[in-house]
Chains A and B, each alone.
Chain A
């Protein structure tokens, strides 16, 4: 149906959502499922982060409006919980578990080694956007300490040197990402 709306859609967009971005459709669906209940805010933010990768200010405003909550409340909740992030994640990520068992087995060395190797502070992304270093509070795989989650894959007994190699291998796999994007 040709309307003024379709004009504003990005090239090739086929979304039913006015923004032209299908991802909002997924978010709307999650909110509908929760009947736009205000107590669903944390669940909705989880979905938003999963779909968009991070919570931008616009996204938080969108959620606030949909759930009829003041933006301050949404911002307050989003910033209170550690798992929500407000910056775009890097292409690759490593999350080092810093729970007690991993601490005993040298998790701090792993964090420091990765930080030095990639010149990135824990909790942030390299300038080229290739790699995000994160830490987590106990992933409950203490039998495998030290544990690092590399690109979503839980890896046990990963000491500093092995962690550096593992991340390097991941980064190498998509060195051709520019050519991928061109496709």
Chain B
């Protein structure tokens, strides 16, 4: 059998190979840029270079996501001795210009619009999780290794006991990035201390079932830097004594699935996974499991049911998965972003990580900026930054002459934060106080054209459709709450509907089995707290014949399906 990978050797080979090129052109090949035509851009670059005699001077790389999706396709050109240039809105024609002027003629910069590094969108970021995103080829293990990858795992296996790894994570103050913010080390300790049945493994699972609409942090981490997730999961397994891992990914993310599977194959070949990881006693095997479109599967007990090939129905906790999880064995589930923080913590030490952020919420958080903003895309910011900085500095404010109305965080489990709270710091506690939550990191900005009761109805429709149906409060409650909201939005609501809605929200929150139902009323609560006037405006006048507000389609006005007309 081949020897395990020699990280230093691979790094020096890779650096040497890269140094032979005068330019390295990184074409973003993440989902958003691909749909904006990045594949054609890469082909144009390559064919233009092919036609010249300079193709051996330029390394064209299909890279991960540099973040500013609204200006894609993005092409980053690194030229020896120069600051890198990030070209924006690159179409086939611009690609030819870049190839001709920058790569072939060797000008400092081609006559194509580019993004300055001083743009607040980039300048205010602190990159831990996304440190490689957009800078390496996600499909090449060597690229990840040359960027310092797998050093943390290799060092941990050689010089640290599992307990020491957990202590390091503990000292970093890392909390779960899936939304609730449970201290990661505490979870790890529970699995570490748990004992599996004889001849049965303990399990670790990376939760990549990113179901919140408007959130795509985990997808980008997985499709831009799949080895980072694998390394984090391997470290989690080593620290907790697990020998089998699963990466549970939404089926809606085919690119992430493909790249993770390729990463697993190359890691196995390099002995970074398998019976003896890097020649040590540590054995670890990983498999990708694909969801099939069920929001509830982000809940950990439902997720495990889905991995077992069953319907994704949540179970009552306790027992917690660390006591009885996958196939009744001790199991730990961490969010993808949580795991992506681990290599930095174990590799660079807890102190460097803990120096970022606030005392209660340490480190960074990745947000997916979307909605009514000039700049949308993926950002990684230190915890404690204000929402105002994110929305107005990094996001560039509201386009089309509109004004800011609310920032929605936490998806269907979160809430809407109005203008007057924009200066509060972004961390777990503050967002909760505002009636929202950190959530997984979706941040959708809404302008003054958006009706808040309609937003509440949108999320309730989502929860109604996604309720698994196991417990009555959620199954029935989400339908009834939606009906009330729908009636109010259509202008048919009566004051007592609002009263019923609020009382039902409280019941559903208090009595639902799992997080889906418990948090389903959150968007209603938060919009009622901050935008009650809008609800009242829809109720007032009691008018039966009031026209529906703009954007609402009256069910009666739709054509009758299948009607032969």
Q: Which chain B positions have C-beta within 8 A of A124? A: 561
Q: Mark contacts of B287-331 with chain A using CB atoms, 8 A cut-off: 1 yes-contact digit, 0 otherwise.
A: 001111111000000000011111110000000000000000000
A-B contact pairs, 22 of them (CB 8 A): A42-B291, A46-B251, A46-B292, A80-B294, A84-B292, A98-B213, A100-B213, A100-B444, A101-B370, A101-B444, A104-B444, A124-B561, A137-B213, A138-B216, A140-B210, A142-B214, A143-B70, A144-B32, A144-B35, A145-B376, A153-B35, A156-B36
Chain A neighbourhood of B365, CB < 8 A? none
Q: Which residues of B contact A103 (CB under 8 A)?
A: 213, 458
Interface residues of B in 542-558 (CB under 8 A from A): 551, 553, 558
- When A and B form their complex, which 9 residue pairs have the shortest distance between CB atoms, in order from nearest? A143-B69, A140-B216, A99-B213, A81-B292, A154-B35, A100-B214, A142-B370, A82-B293, A101-B370
Q: Which residues of B contact A101 (CB under 8 A)?
A: 213-214, 370-371, 376, 444
- The interface-forming segment of A5-13, A86-94, A108-116, A170-178 is A108-116
A119 within 8 A of B: yes
Which residues of chain A in 129-166 are interfacial with respect to chain B, using CB atoms and an 8 Å cutoff? 136-145, 147, 153-156
Taking CB atoms, residues of chain B closer than 8 Å to A100 are 213-214, 370-371, 408, 411, 442, 444, 458
The docked-state distance in angstroms from the alpha carbon of A66 to that of B69 is: 45
Query: Does A137 lie within 8 Å of B559, measured CB to CB?
Result: no
B561–A140 touching, CB < 8 Å: no
Q: Which residues of A contact B370 (CB under 8 A)?
A: 100-101, 104, 142-143, 145
Residues in B neighbouring A46, C-beta threshold 8 A? 251, 290, 292
Q: Which residues of B (503-561) have their CB < 8 Å from a CB of A?
A: 551, 553, 558-559, 561
Minimal beta-carbon separation of A151 from chain B (angstroms): 13
Question: Are A154's CB and B551's CB within 8 A?
Answer: no
The tally of CB-CB contacts under 8 A between chains A and B is 151
Expressed in whole angstroms, the minimum distance between the Cβ of A55 and any Cβ of chain B is: 11
Report which B residues bind A (CB closer than 8 A): 31-32, 34-36, 69-70, 72, 210-216, 219-220, 251-253, 289-295, 306-312, 368, 370-372, 376-377, 408, 411, 442, 444, 446, 450, 458, 462, 466, 468, 551, 553, 558-559, 561-563
Interface set, chain A 18-66, CB cutoff 8 A to B: 37-43, 45-46
A167 within 8 A of B: no
**What residues of chain A lie closer than 8 Å to B376, measured between beta carbons?**
101, 142-143, 145
| B35: nearest chain-A partner, CB-CB | A154
Chain A hits for B377, CB < 8 A: 143
Chain B neighbourhood of A137, CB < 8 A = 211, 213, 252, 293, 295, 462, 466
Q: A42-B309, A138-B212, A144-B72 are in contact. List 7 more A-B contacts (CB 8 A).
A: A37-B309, A42-B289, A42-B290, A104-B446, A115-B559, A138-B213, A140-B219
| A127 on the B face (CB < 8 A) | yes
A144 touches B216 (CB 8 A): no
Knowing A137-B462, A143-B70, say if A104 contacts B371 (CB, 8 Å): yes
Establish whether residues A138 and B214, one from each chain, have CB atoms under 8 Å apart when the complex forms: yes
* CB pair B371 A83 closer than 8 Å: no
Q: Is the CB of B458 within 8 A of A82?
A: no
B90 to chain A, nearest CB (A): 15
Also in contact, A141 and B32, with CB within 8 A (given A40-B309, A101-B214): yes
Cβ contact within 8 Å between B553 and A108: yes
Inter-chain CA distance A38–B307, complex, in Å, is: 11
B35/A45 in contact, CB under 8 A: no
Q: Are B310 and A77 in contact (CB under 8 A)?
A: yes
Q: Are A77 and B551 in contact (CB under 8 A)?
A: no
Nearest-neighbor residue (CB-CB) of B561 within chain A: A121
Q: Which residue of A lies closest to B214 (CB)?
A: A100
Q: Within the assembled complex, what's the spacing in Å between the Cα atoms of A118 and B376?
A: 32
With an 8 A cutoff between CB atoms, is A76 at the interface?
yes
Give bound CA distance, A139 to B254, whole Å. 10
Shortest CB distance A54–B (Å): 14
Instruction: Give the chain A neighbours of B551 by CB distance below 8 A.
Output: 106, 108-109
CA–CA, A46 to B293, complex, Å? Answer: 11
